[in-house]
Amino acid sequence: MNSKKIATSKRRPSISIKKFITAALFAAITLLAALATYMWASRRTPRTRMPNASNVERVPSAPFFLPARRELPLSPVHEADVEKMEAVSTAFLQSWNAYRRHGWGFDEYHPLSKVGSNLLGSSDSPLGFTIVDALDMLILQGLQREYEEARDWIRDVLHWDLDGRLNVFETTIRVMGGLLSASALMRNPPPDSLPASLEDAQMFQDKAEQLAWRLLPAFETPTGIPKREINLATGESFYDKDNFNSSSLAEATTIQLEFKYLAHLTKNQRYWYMAENPMFFVREATRPPRQGLLPIFLDPQSGAPLLGEVRLGSRGDSYYEYLVKQYLQTNYTETVYHDMYEHAFDGIKSTLLGEFTGIDPPLLYTMELFPRRVQQQIAWARRTKQDHLVCFLGGAMMLGASVHADGTLHPPFNDSLATAAMQEDWRVGHELVRSCVNTYTESATGLGAEIVFFQPPNEMKPGTRPWMVKRVNRTRDPSMAPPIDSRNILRPETVESLYIAFQLTGDPLYREWGWSIFQAFQRWCQVDKGYGGYAGIDDVDSLDHQLIDRMETFWLSETLKYLYLLFAPRNKISLRHWVFNTEAHPLPVFAPIFPTDIN
């Protein structure tokens, strides 16, 4: 099939002059926004070099000296920390059983009110968010009874005739990704997991493909960049009207691992090119000598990025995560994604890194760019805002720095194939992990906030910490929580990076940091001593905080999984043979049968 073929629209009757003028104005505004973004993306940054595909050696690009490199352990840890691993397993079982008692079959669980709810509202329209999201954790822990109950519900109850609007990205990464991961694990289970079952594996695969088929209409745009929402029952798909009918960068470029693995299983190239189409337009927008960074919205009609914020948090984050992971998933064959990763991460280092020098050693952090108009021209300003979501970045940089051309995966030191830029990636990655851990250890509760703002050293008062949070205003309606606040909602990104770092090094420091975080969850987030599940808190900087009546599904599927694997034997899941999707569902590495047409 021609993956770049542009669909033609049907000829329509003539329209009024007023509608014509409105349409022309909208087109002009869109064109100007795309042009301004192109001019921004095309500017050269002195520290950014073109990727290796251009035969130019990649060089270090961080704009300051980094703290001294942490030495790798002479005797890496390989064995499990059984006591801590079992403590995490207990927390998982308490959470699972609370959901099972009070919310079974519903998409989400509310631990304070002890009820379940569905994304579509109706009690008979579950999407399987919690059950499917937690399925691979049941397999990895060898929980036979719990697994069989979840499997039977998926086989006998779960269906896709769901009449309502569902987010395409969330449905793909959580439900389709969870089913595909369970299918892969039941074909080839890791050590100390449930025994293989080819029958179950095929059932999960079939369910995933049926869901994928229902998602197809969302990808029927001129570029193949998907719309935001889909009605699985009717096939109607919907643009994001709140954001000028655009598609977010992260959502359009974080369905690739799932659809590519499904294409590999089914030998259906349609799924493959559904994943490749959005990447084609992103590649064009970032092709050297343009910048490797992109604003957070794409135009699904033209494929062009729209003028707007550039950030590594919400709506941008997993685009950068999936660049190196696509290269790993396809067994180091799709080199274009490794080139794109290097190009983008050079841009991150040279453009979006900040350094807090008010303490020793300094802390690295990330910033955001936002456009503003200055004398009829677009200028770019920085702000020192860092989402908790950005804490995936440290682990992603360490993972990318460990990818070697000879097909091995190990830290880039004492290796003739490792470049200075790879070593810098590793060091920046470690320092970003350390900064994210700092946002936990230096809060009143030991838990990290949703969003922090790093402070300029010259504005700090003596004895204060490098970052601040905006506190929750409890006089407001609790359902109207501010988007910038001091909540912790059980997010996984920091422990995700700790798991990756430990897997690559065996350094016990990462386990120490992870255990400290787990203990804070235990102290502040348990409901009824854990038997009622776990809940987020509304203010990490107050010991007088309040619990939030929601146990996010990623608590089961991501946060506890990464903590469990952090203390499990290092050979439990090999990062050379498995790739975790952005919802922490492991998918196997494979040799692709469909060639990429992106270069």
DSSP for 86-113 reads: HHHHHHHHHHHHHHHHHHTTSSEEETTT
Active site residue 450: yes
Residue 533 lies in a domain: yes
Residue 42 confidence (pLDDT): 35
Q: Quick check: is 258 catalytic?
A: no
What are the φ and ψ backbone dihedral angles of 301, each rounded to 5 degrees?
-80, -45
Q: What is the pLDDT of residue 45?
A: 30
Q: What is the pLDDT of residue 1?
A: 39
- Active-site pick, 276, 342, 425, 450: 450
In a domain, 12, yes or no: no
132 pLDDT above the threshold of 80:
yes
The pLDDT confidence band at residue 456, using thresholds 50, 70 and 90, is confident
Q: What is the pLDDT of residue 483?
A: 53
Tokens 């990655």 found at: 429
> Which phi and psi (to 5°) does residue 161 adopt?
-85, 65
Stated pTM of the model: 0.90
**Pick the residue with more confidence: 459 or 63?**
63
Which letter does DSSP use for residue 477 in this model?
A: -
3-state secondary structure of 343: helix
Number of domains in the chain: 1
Give residue 474's pLDDT: 65
Q: What is the mean pLDDT of residues 558-563?
A: 98
What residue numbers bound the domain in which 424 lies? 75-472+484-588
Q: Is position 86 annotated as part of the catalytic site?
A: no
Categorize the per-residue pLDDT at 180 as very low, low, confident or very high, splitting at 50, 70 and 90. Answer: very high
Q: Is residue 462 part of a domain?
A: yes
CA nearest 567: which of 498, 520, 521, 492? 498
Instruction: Single out the catalytic residue among 317, 425, 507, 552.
Output: 317
Q: Is 36 part of a structural domain of the chain?
A: no
The model's pLDDT over 279-330, given as tens digits with 9 standing for 90+, comes to 999 999 999 988 899 999 999 999 999 999 999 999 999 999 999 999 999 9
How far from 168 is each of 204, 250, 300, 587, CA to CA, in Å? 19, 12, 14, 19
Residue 158 in any domain: the answer is: yes
List the catalytic residue out of 136, 209, 493, 539. Answer: 493
Element (H, E) at 497: helix 493-505
Rounded alpha-carbon distances, angstroms, from residue 583 to 289, 444, 557, 587: 33, 28, 7, 11
Q: Confirm whether 284 is a catalytic residue.
A: no
Q: What is the mean pLDDT of the chain?
A: 90
* Pairwise CA distance, residues 154 & 264, whole Å: 23
Q: What is the per-residue pLDDT across 355-370, written as a single tens digit (0 to 9) for each?
A: 998 888 999 999 999 9
**516 within 8 A of 440, measured Cβ to Cβ:** yes
In a domain, 56, yes or no: no
Q: 141 pairs with which residues across the strands?
A: none
Instruction: Say if residue 361 is preceded by a cis peptide, omega within 30 of 0.
Output: yes
Whether the Cβ atoms of residue 131 and residue 154 lie closer than 8 Å to each other: yes
The DSSP line for 151-219 is HHHHHHT--S---SEEEHHHIIIIIIHHHHHHHHHHHSPPTTSPPP-HHHHHHHHHHHHHHHHHHGGGG
Confidence of residue 259 (pLDDT cuts 50, 70, 90): very high
Q: Which CATH number does the domain housing residue 316 bear?
A: 1.50.10.10
Residue 478 in domain: no
Would you list which residues are annotated within the binding site for Ca(2+)? Answer: 582
DSSP bridge pairs for 369:
310, 382
In a domain, 8, yes or no: no
Binding residues: 582
* Residue 286 · residue 302 · CB < 8 Å: no
